[in-house]
Chain A
Amino acid sequence: MIRSLNANPSWRHAASVACAAVSLAALASAAEPVKVGVLQSLTGTMAISEVTVKNAEILAIDEINASGGVLGRKLQPVVEDGASDPAMFSQKAQKLIQQDKVVTVFGGWTSASRKAMLPVFERFHNLLWYPVQFEGNECSPNIMYSGAQPNQQILPALDWAKEKGYKRIFLLGSDYVFPRTANLILKKHIVHDGLTVAGEEYVPLGGTDFSAVITKIRQAHPEIIFNTLNGDSNVSFFKQMAATGMPPSKLPVMSFSIAEPEAQAMGPSLVAGSYAAWNYFQTLNNALNKKFIAAYRARFGANSVVDDPMVHGYVDVLIWAAAVKKAGSLDPNAVRKAAVQLAAIDSVMGSIKFAPNQSLVQTAFVGQLDSAGMFKILWQSKQPLMPEPYDALAFPGKTCVIR
């Protein structure tokens, strides 16, 4: 479904009124801090991943405050807990906008949380910055999609596997929207590229018994597994594979949801040798990255590891601040329009900019886990990739145009 602003004329009117109101308010109270929302799961099953994203977002907000804030005003983060529950995300998003009057919100992780928040942001004409790789197929003017689109993470991994000569690919995932859609896209491309889908299996979220799946894998004789399992299921999967004599060193696994913190928590020896595709690895060698890691560790503990979604949360805040400066306004509508007009910036994760479809132009990397739980970067896309919310092969004829 293509959202066009013209289809909803009240948008423009409301936006311009809001714009005027906000600028008036800005003049009246120059010293008052600007409230921005930070909405992640601090409790529940997703807290493990989302708390660190919250930390990175707070770190960026502090850095902006240290350099003088935006439009001469300090930022004041309002942190809320989405409790790993989509309905709670929607409830808290509404609270942030209506009650706390935040000018923008950074947050969300699961697609379910984003889908639940989307109507709220559209209804109140606010702007959400979403930091996680996802399945695409969405195109809302009220969301800035900084996480990878399928063509920026999954398909580059397929290109890499093809270069490496892998021909039979087994698709394994947790049973929810990202793995299913990712695999739908992958299947089209695997067939299109003349490779073979050896099998496709889904395990209920949080599932820990892989005996049946492993039997199916053994029957299918794949050369590589593309793994979109989530959270603790990964530990069970790798353990039970190793116990049946198929560690990642024998049967390669390319994972799309295992980043540095997950690898550390699982015990690096278990997953050593397996591959992952992301738009950022902690081992990226650039000065900004070193500075970011040092700042994060100084604030949140010397042994902290950082990962792709955290970095996306961090750059989201920085780009928002840059867009506010360019627009000279806090109005969400002006900010989102300014954000896509910013020139490419050099960042922790390389050169990035927001494309007109409000998704991030970014580079894809493939890395291999070593025994310390860090990634050795093996491959990277030749240039930053344009984001494609709708895969041309799987969803022909669909495009995302945001005005």
Chain B
Amino acid sequence: MGDSAVLLGQLFNGVSVASILLLAAMGLVLSFGLMHVINMAHGEMLMVGGYLSFLTLKFVHGPAAFLACLLVAFAGAALLGALLELSVVRWLYGRPLDTLLATWGVSLILQQAARSIFGPIGVELTAPAWLNRSFSFTQGWLAGVQLPYIRVFIIVLSAAVLGSVALFIGRSQWGMLLRAVHQDREMAESLGVNTRLVDLLVFALGSGVAGLAGSALALISPVTPTVGQSFIVYAFLVTIVGGLGSLLGTALAALLVGIFSAAVQINFSLSTADVLLLLMVVALIQFRPRGLITRNSRSLSEA
């Protein structure tokens, strides 16, 4: 393997990690941008998506079974997200730190529930045969590079979801209402927009996307009761770097975090990567305290 091949392979790994982070962080950013709430149980939406995919594969077979998994994971996580919004989050608007604690409580309960139902051992999802291959380069300057289909698939999935969500927000009727509430909640409300319904919808959408992330993640690692917890801290770092409330910023931040980690991991140990990542985020805040992409606003304090 040549140096350039290693570099490229690692770049690819970085992008593939970034695409999962993006899926995981998208919902966080949407709900924070709109409602100023931080959902600590967001990681558990990932977990739910993973377990739902596992269950779906028990009933559905065939080459397209995994697409069914994605659908079920999205719908199930979105439903659970809506439930969470109605039962807990709705009552705590305007108290972001309290929402954070309450949703942490929810996440503990969901984790224990998963442990009781599926056991503490991770369950395993067998990837469909058409995904279980890889592009491999045998000659030229790329010789030795392996691009597993699964990771390519996850990158494509995440790009597609990003595109659809952007289209939904930018072009659809609901998206317009969403933007209106985002820009000025009172004004939108007084014009007759049902802001509560918009909130509910966005929260459910964000959770559903996290469910997709869980489904995709299940292709490369086991689904365990704590899978969400191990991912959520990184997703939060992505939202901090990206700026809470901007999809483009989130996408850039996910790429930055993913590629940074991949680059550090190949040169140092994996544990050092965590520390350097945190240092990078704190350093970045010195230059862009509100994240990479910010909305201009005359308001004094946003978050």
How many angstroms between the C-alpha atoms of A212 and B260 in the bound complex?
12
CA distance A274 to B64 in the complex (A): 31
B268: nearest residue on chain A (CB-CB)? A212
Within 8 A of B (CB), among A263-315: 265-267, 269-270
Choose from A201, A207, A219, A235 the contact partner of B6 (Cβ within 8 Å). A219
Q: How far is the CB of A116 from chain B (nearest CB, A)?
A: 21
Q: Is the CB of A203 within 8 A of B270?
A: yes
Interface of A is mostly: helix
Report chain A residues within 8 Å CB of B120: 45, 47-48
- CA–CA, A203 to B230, complex, Å? 14
State in angstroms the CA–CA spacing of A308 and B132 once bound together: 33
B80-100 vs A, Cβ < 8 Å mask (1 yes, 0 no): 000000000000000000000
**Which residue of B is nearest A84, CB measured?**
B120
How near does chain B come to A171, taking the closest CB pair, in angstroms? 13
B270 close to A245 (CB less than 8 A): no
Which chain A residues numbered 152 to 211 have a C-beta less than 8 Å away from chain B? 175, 201-204, 206-209, 211
B 1-22 binary contact with A (CB < 8 Å = 1; else 0): 1000010011001001100000
In the complex the two chains form, what is the Cα distance from A219 to B222 in whole Å?
26
Assembly CA distance A294 to B150 (angstroms) = 42
Contact among B126, B221, B274 for A232, CB-based, below 8 A:
B221
- Contact at A212–B230, with CB atoms within 8 Å? no
**Residue pair B144, A218 in contact (C-beta under 8 Å):** yes
Distance (whole angstroms) from the CB of B271 to the closest CB of chain A: 5
Q: Which residues does chain A contribute within 8 Å of B132, judged by CB atoms? A: 242-243
The answer to whether B271 touches A175 (Cβ under 8 A) is: yes
For the complex, what is the distance from the CA of A270 to the CA of B136, rounded to whole Å?
A: 21
Residues of A within 8 A of B17 (CB): 209, 211
For A216, list chain B residues within 8 Å (CB).
Answer: 266
Contacts of A269 on B, CB cut-off 8 Å? 126
Point out the residue from B119, B222, B270 that lies within 8 Å of A235, measured CB to CB.
B222
CB distance from B291 to the nearest CB of A (A): 24
A41 to chain B, nearest CB (A): 10
Is B173 an interface position by the 8 A CB rule? no
Cβ B136 vs Cβ A245 within 8 A:
yes
Report the bound CA distance from A208 to B223 in whole Å: 10
- CB A122 to nearest CB in B, in angstroms, measures 32
Contact call B221/A270, Cβ cutoff below 8 A? no
Q: How large is the interface on B (under 10, 10 to 19, 20 to 34, 35 or more residues)?
A: 35 or more
Task: Tell whether, in the assembled complex, residue A270 and residue B148 are in contact, meaning their CB atoms are under 8 Å apart.
Answer: no
Give the docked Cα–Cα distance between A47 and B226 (Å): 13
Counting CB contacts under 8 A, is B56 at the interface?
no
Within 8 A of A (CB), among B251-303: 262, 265-266, 269-271, 274
Partner of A204, one of B9, B10, B136, B271: B271
User: Per-position contact with A for B198-242: 1 when CB-CB < 8 Å, else 0?
Assistant: 000000000000000000000011101011001000000000000
A-contact bits for B109-152, CB 8 A (1 contact / 0 none): 00000000001111010110000101010000000101011110
Instruction: List B contacts of A209 (CB < 8 A).
Output: 17, 221
**Nearest CB to that of A209 among chain B residues?**
B17
- What 1/0 mask marks residues of chain B from 143 to 181 whose CB sits below 8 Å from any chain A CB? 010101111000000000000000000000000000000
Is A240's beta carbon under 8 Å from chain B?
A: yes
B154 to chain A, nearest CB (A): 11
- The complex places the Cα of A201 from the Cα of B119 at a distance, in Å, of 30
Q: A249 CB to closest chain B CB, in angstroms?
A: 14
Q: A212–B230 Cα gap in the complex (Å)?
A: 18
- Is the CB of A99 closer than 8 A to any CB of chain B? no
* Cα A204 to Cα B273 with chains together (Å): 10
Also in contact, A244 and B124, with CB within 8 A (given A211-B16, A215-B10, A216-B266):
no
Is there contact, CB below 8 Å, between B6 and A267?
no
Instruction: Pick the most buried of A45, A175, A212, A218: most chain B CB atoms within 10 A of its CB.
Output: A212
Closest to B20 in A: A209
B-side contacts of A207, CB under 8 Å: 270
The listed residue (A204, A213, A232, A240) touching B220 by CB distance below 8 A is: A240
CA A211 – CA B226 in complex, angstroms? Answer: 21
Tell me if A232 and B146 are in contact (CB < 8 A). Answer: no
A235 touching B271, Cβ below 8 Å: no
Contact indicator A215/B266 (Cβ below 8 Å): yes
Tell me if B1 and A211 are in contact (CB < 8 A): no
**A45-67 interface mask toward B, CB cutoff 8 Å, 1 = contact, 0 = none?**
10110000000000000000000
Known contacts A206-B226, A266-B124; A218/B150 CB under 8 A: no
Supposing A206-B230, A235-B221, A245-B134 touch, asked if A212 and B126 sit within 8 A by C-beta, the answer is: no
* A114 located at the interface, meaning its Cβ lies under 8 Å from any Cβ of chain B in the complex: no
CB < 8 Å: which of A47, A201, A211, A242 contacts B13? A211
Chain A CB within 10 Å — which of B10, B134, B149, B224 has the most?
B224
Residues of B with C-beta under 8 A to A48:
119-121
CA distance A265 to B121 in the complex (A): 7
A326, CB-defined interface residue at 8 Å: no
Q: Within A317-375, which residues are at the interface with B (CB < 8 Å)?
A: none
Assess whether A245 is in contact with B126, with CB atoms less than 8 Å apart: no
CA–CA, A356 and B6, complex, Å: 52
Q: Known: A239-B221, A243-B148. Is A267-B124 also a contact (CB below 8 A)? A: yes
B224 — nearest CB in chain A belongs to which residue? A232
Complex CA gap A164/B99 in Å reads 59
Q: 8 Å CB contacts to B: which residues of A224-281?
A: 232, 235-236, 239-240, 242-245, 261, 265-267, 269-270
Contacts of B222 on A, CB cut-off 8 Å? 208, 232, 235-236, 266
Are B136 and A208 in touch, CB under 8 angstroms?
no
Bound complex: CA A92 to CA B132 (Å): 47
Q: Are the CB atoms of A235 and B124 closer together than 8 Å?
A: yes
B146 touches A244 (CB 8 A): yes
Contact B269 A202 (CB under 8 A): yes
A212, chain B: closest CB distance, angstroms:
4
Q: Min CB distance, B160 to chain A, in Å?
A: 21
Please give, as numbers and ranges, the residues of chain B lying within 8 Å of A201 by CB-CB distance.
269-270
Q: Which 8 A-B pairs have the closest CB atoms?
A: A211-B13, A212-B265, A208-B221, A236-B221, A243-B148, A235-B222, A265-B121, A48-B120
**Residues in chain A within 8 A of chain B (CB atoms):** 45, 47-48, 175, 201-204, 206-209, 211-213, 215-216, 218-219, 232, 235-236, 239-240, 242-245, 261, 265-267, 269-270
CB-defined A-B contacts under 8 Å, sample of 12: A204-B274, A208-B227, A212-B270, A213-B270, A215-B6, A218-B1, A236-B221, A242-B132, A243-B132, A243-B134, A261-B121, A267-B126
